[in-house]
């Protein structure tokens, strides 16, 4: 098989949550564990950091990977979903897995994958572990796909677990309360392995603490380790003045990612890096931390996080796609100077629009669209649902056409926002 045929097999033959939704979700670790044994358990060949959470886990994973790269460690990074290229999911020192490596892996293990009836995500996870071991990675940052307890990535035994936050998402699979979702995400906590909690919340802290206590694992609340004293935007970067609680030390950190919500991710990543340096075999200098933060997006090619796509009119995209993430987006839109606001929005079918749509600004001009995904909610249907919540707009079925329409309508001093779904952002980039 060539690379395109290999991808076709992966997406068509193996069930993928990205295309099929909940029907492709295969909980349980038996299949991935059996496949990893078949591969010689490559995930045991390097240190791992395991990152779960409703929002922010992608940014936190990329920031930590960037810092580790700057510290001189050969660093693996496994994230999902991809925006434009499947290989974005698997990186070593910021570089995507080569196409030939993808082809070789599938060729070699095709029969076993079919025999075990692996899901797309299980296969991808195992491919990442195998490639990291081959590449002599020293430490890998591993982002969960969905949930935690039954996620394919949960076969690893990390040196640190991280839970960024808990919000209502994938309720049909993970539970319909914050407590139930927290219990699933807390499933990544391993015996005696500490866990960093990015955003504490009285509604779910006790659930995580109980899981940690059962595993005799230390809980570190990031907000108790660092506080942000000052935050400002400077060009394409953000500057944060952080204060370390244990000694009162204040220092400045620059991050090459936009979006006010990154303050939470900076605090979470900083607490994680601080712990890794103080309590694990890893050594991370102040310089590596500062440089890794400053070049996080550049080092890891992170896209789609309040990313500026154009000026005059200011055009921004963001992959926030649940109520928790859209609330931050709405806040950011409010604080960004503009005259008129044009929003190009599309969602997948299984999103809880009753909790998402009321968060969006009513005074914006909407162009409702749909990505080329089986899971996409038809633009006409979205337009009708949005109208119920006072959001008026037109349906344009193709993302690129919808973005072009927004650019026709917007004046130089206006703003265009593109979001609602990772797939919409991917097609707009």
Name which residue leads in pLDDT, 168 or 32. Answer: 32
What's the pLDDT at 175? 73
Q: Could you give the strand order of the β-sheet that contains 415-419, starting from the edge strand earlier in sequence?
A: 307-310, 314-318, 415-419, 341-345, 365-368, 393-395
Q: Would you say residue 22 has pLDDT above 70?
A: no
Count of other CB atoms within 10 angstroms of residue 276: 24
Q: For residues 417 and 67, what is the distance between their CA atoms, to the nearest angstrom?
A: 30
- 368 phi and psi, to 5 degrees? -90, 135
Q: For residues 126 and 110, what is the distance between their CA atoms, to the nearest angstrom?
A: 12
Q: Would you say residue 342 has pLDDT above 90?
A: yes
**Strand, coil or helix: what is 231?**
strand
Query: 117: which 2 tokens?
Result: 């009836």
What's the pLDDT at 146? 84
**78, 65 contact by CB (below 8 A):** no
Residue 109 DSSP code: H
Q: Could you give the strand order of the β-sheet that contains 250-255, starting from the edge strand earlier in sequence?
A: 226-234, 237-244, 250-255
Which residues lie closer than 8 Å to 337 by C-beta, 6 or more apart?
Answer: none
Half-sphere exposure (Cβ direction) of 40: Cα atoms closer than 13 Å: 8
Domains of the chain in start order, with CATH, are 3-300 (3.40.1190.10), 307-428 (3.90.190.20)
Query: 406: which 2 tokens?
Result: 């927004």
Beta strands in 160-249 (DSSP E): 160-163, 195-197, 219-221, 226-234, 237-244
> pLDDT (tens digit, 9 = 90+) per residue, 103-128?
999 999 999 999 998 989 999 999 99
> pLDDT (tens digit, 9 = 90+) per residue, 69-109?
999 999 999 999 999 999 999 999 999 999 999 999 999 99
What's the pLDDT at 11? 83
> Burial level of 284, CB count in 10 A (0-12/13-18/19+)?
buried
Question: Can you tell me the mean pLDDT for 254-279?
Answer: 96
> pLDDT (tens digit, 9 = 90+) per residue, 32-76?
999 999 999 999 999 999 999 999 999 999 999 999 999 999 999
Ramachandran assignment for 428, one of left (phi > 0), alpha (psi -120 to 50 degrees), beta (any other): alpha
Q: For residues 367 and 393, what is the distance between their CA atoms, to the nearest angstrom?
A: 5
What's the pLDDT at 23? 47
Instruction: Provide the mean pLDDT of the chain.
Output: 94
What's the pLDDT at 36? 98
> pLDDT (tens digit, 9 = 90+) per residue, 269-295?
999 999 999 999 999 999 999 999 999
Name which residue leads in pLDDT, 19 or 279. Answer: 279
Q: What is the pTM of this model?
A: 0.93
**195, 210 contact by CB (below 8 A):** no
Pairing of strands 47-52, 160-163: parallel
- What percent of the chain lies above the pLDDT cut of 70? 95
């Amino acid at each position: 098989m060539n690379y395109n045929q290999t991808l076709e097999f992966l997406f068509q033959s193996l069930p993928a949550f990205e295309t099929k939704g909940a029907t492709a979700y295969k909980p349980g670790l038996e299949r991935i564990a059996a496949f990893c044994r078949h591969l010689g358990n490559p995930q045991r060949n390097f240190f791992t950091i395991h990152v779960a959470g409703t929002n922010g886990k992608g940014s936190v994973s990329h920031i930590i990977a960037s810092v580790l790269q700057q510290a001189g460690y050969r660093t693996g990074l496994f994230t999902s979903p991809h925006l434009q290229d499947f290989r974005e999911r698997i990186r070593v020192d910021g570089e995507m897995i080569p196409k030939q490596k993808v082809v070789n892996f599938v060729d070699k293990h095709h029969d076993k994958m079919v025999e075990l009836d692996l899901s797309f995500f299980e296969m991808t996870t195992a491919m990442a572990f195998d490639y990291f071991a081959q590449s002599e990675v020293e430490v890998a940052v591993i982002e969960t796909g969905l949930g935690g307890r039954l996620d394919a990535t949960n076969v690893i035994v990390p040196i640190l677990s991280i839970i960024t936050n808990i919000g209502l998402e994938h309720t049909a699979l993970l539970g319909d309360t914050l407590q139930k979702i927290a219990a699933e995400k807390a499933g990544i906590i391993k015996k005696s392995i500490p866990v960093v909690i990015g955003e504490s919340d009285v509604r779910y802290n006790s659930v995580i603490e109980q899981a940690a206590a059962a595993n005799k694992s230390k809980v570190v609340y990031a907000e108790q380790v660092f506080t942000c004293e000052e935050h400002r935007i400077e060009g394409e970067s953000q500057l944060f003045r952080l204060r370390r609680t244990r000694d009162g030390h204040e220092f400045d950190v620059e991050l090459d990612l936009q979006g006010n919500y990154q303050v939470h991710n900076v605090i979470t990543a900083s607490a994680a890096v601080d712990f890794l340096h103080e309590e694990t075999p890893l050594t991370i200098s102040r310089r590596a931390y500062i440089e890794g933060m400053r070049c996080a997006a550049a080092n890891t090619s992170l896209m789609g996080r309040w990313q500026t796509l154009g000026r005059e009119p200011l055009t921004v995209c963001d992959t926030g796609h649940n109520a928790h993430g859209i609330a931050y987006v709405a806040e950011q839109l409010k604080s960004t100077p503009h005259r008129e606001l044009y929003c190009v929005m599309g969602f997948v079918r299984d999103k809880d629009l009753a909790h998402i749509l009321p968060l969006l600004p009513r005074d914006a001009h909407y162009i409702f669209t749909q990505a080329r995904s089986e899971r996409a909610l038809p633009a006409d249907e979205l337009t009708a649902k949005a109208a119920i919540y006072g959001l008026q707009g037109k349906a344009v079925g193709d993302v690129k056409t919808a973005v072009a329409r927004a650019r026709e309508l917007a004046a130089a001093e206006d703003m265009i926002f593109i979001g609602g779904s990772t797939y919409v952002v991917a097609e707009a980039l």
